[in-house]
Amino acid sequence: MTERARDVLCGVFGATTGFSLHRFVGGKTQQIIKAEIPFGKGPDGLKYWPTGWLQHILHAAAAYGGRESLLALATWGADSALLTRTGHIFTSHIIHPAQHYGSVPKSWLGQATAHVSALDIYRRTGGANVAWFQPYAQLLCEKQHRPQLLAWPAKVAVIPMADLMTCILTGAKGHDQTTLQSYGMLEKGWRGLYGQLFPQMGKAALAGRIAPWPVFDQRTILPGPGGIRVIPATHDSVPARMVGFSQCPFVLWTGNWVGTAFNLADSPGVQPSAESLAADIAFEGVGPARAAITNIAMLGTYWKALLEWAQGPQKTDYQQGAASALEALDKGLEVDLAEILPAQSEQIDQIAVRLGSVCAVSDWPVKLATFIKSAAKACDQKLQATAKVLGLDKPTEVAIIGGWAENAAFVAALCSLGYAVHIPPLAAEATHAGLAAQALVRGNEAPDFGEALKMLQAA
């Protein structure tokens, strides 16, 4: 590995985990920054990004690199930012508070589909997640709470948060292709949807200000502070999935959320359909990173809640809980996941009560094992459903990325369902590793993603 390749910084803004900056050095990962995102509420009661803090943390991250260091950034593929133009000047005072996706009422999807069917939106956006399609929902929220801004569409730009981060750090005004795909903004004619869905919001005039900048080329690298080389910020889940795809076309991505992904690199003809919409499949990524993905549930959050419940004030760490569940797998009862999981993620404290009531066993490791078996069964059902919709055989192999790649009980439960389980190198830190690998390829320091992962592991 060259000297330049050893200095790769990767910053990830996690929806529930905050911001973390990692440096890949000599086959090891060093965490440099770990910070909670200090979201605040506005006078309207909605949750907003702290844009001043965002600018500070981005420049703090860049300061850890030297001249020619690579810096790659990623965030979840949901939130948008509202900017007011003043000529060609971009300064902090014209970044209006950006809403957090959790503040946007889901009920507004009903307003959208009253004008255009969900299937039509889904097809015309290339398979974006209709159930939580942020640009539409957040614009409705902006219209309700800050209508004076949207009254001047010629001076307003609505951009993904990932592109705002790139602009803050480098001054470059452009859009990341992967993020635009997640937002449903790469397909031809997507702007026309805004006039049809929300004619009361200015029709084409406002639509023209949504993602108005040029799209970055896939090889773009931008000069940043102090000579650091900045990779445009992207959607965090895509580079993570690429780590899994290096081992297997079917991937389980885990963390607080758990979901499935299938690599469409060898199936370019697969398109959004009524069947894929009914199966809650979204299409994300571009080129070799294009995937059909699903969300299952916040299983990782529930697992953490169970561990806290298991031994009360003594606590039980992740590895202890997994080991105890593994020992109990052959003893436990198996219950349906729907009987355990609360309807809302805000009610996760109820999971212990539910699990305790449906299991007639007092031994808490058995209850942990019951949850793990139920979670594995839910993953199996989603993998099979995805394969069926895509016209594929039932999968027999799967790769796991994220925290549950180190959960021995979960791996054993999947194996018992007939899967050969692959754990890629760097699986537990797949988002940072995937970002680093993409940066090495983009910086011409690795010929392809697989070789870049090997470089990251090399001593």
Q: Are residues 210 and 320 in the same domain?
A: no
Q: Are residues 253 and 166 in the same domain?
A: no
Q: Are residues 175 and 61 in the same domain?
A: yes
Round the average pLDDT of the chain to a whole number and report it.
81
- Boundary residue ending a domain (178, 203, 235): 235
Residue 254 sits in a domain whose CATH number is: 3.30.420.40
Q: Are residues 158 and 289 in the same domain?
A: no
Q: What is the distance, to the nearest Å, from the Cα of residue 221 to the centroid of all Cα atoms in its chain? A: 22
Domain span at residue 324 reads 247-423
Q: 333, 370 in Cβ contact below 8 A?
A: yes
Residue 129 has pLDDT above 80, yes or no: no
* Structure-model confidence comparison of residues 458 and 161, the more confident one: 161
Q: Are residues 231 and 251 in the same domain?
A: no
Which of 222-226, 271-275, 298-302, 427-431 is least confident?
Answer: 298-302
State the pTM of this model: 0.86
| pLDDT digits 0-9 by tens, 151-160 | 665 667 888 9
Task: Please state, in angstroms and rounded to a whole number, the distance separating the CA atoms of residues 209 and 112.
Answer: 19
Q: Are residues 118 and 258 in the same domain?
A: no
Tokens for 214, please give them: 């040029």
Q: Are residues 254 and 208 in the same domain?
A: no
| pLDDT digits 0-9 by tens, 33-85 | 999 999 988 877 888 888 889 999 999 999 998 888 899 999 998 888 888 76
Number of structural domains the chain divides into: 2
Ramachandran assignment for 289, one of left (phi > 0), alpha (psi -120 to 50 degrees), beta (any other) = alpha
| pLDDT digits 0-9 by tens, 239-254 | 999 999 999 999 999 9
**267 contacts: CB under 8 Å, gap ≥ 6:** 390
Instruction: Give the Å distances, CA to CA, from 234 to 61, 72, 368.
Output: 16, 8, 36
Residue 427 has pLDDT above 90, yes or no: yes
Q: Are residues 176 and 286 in the same domain?
A: no
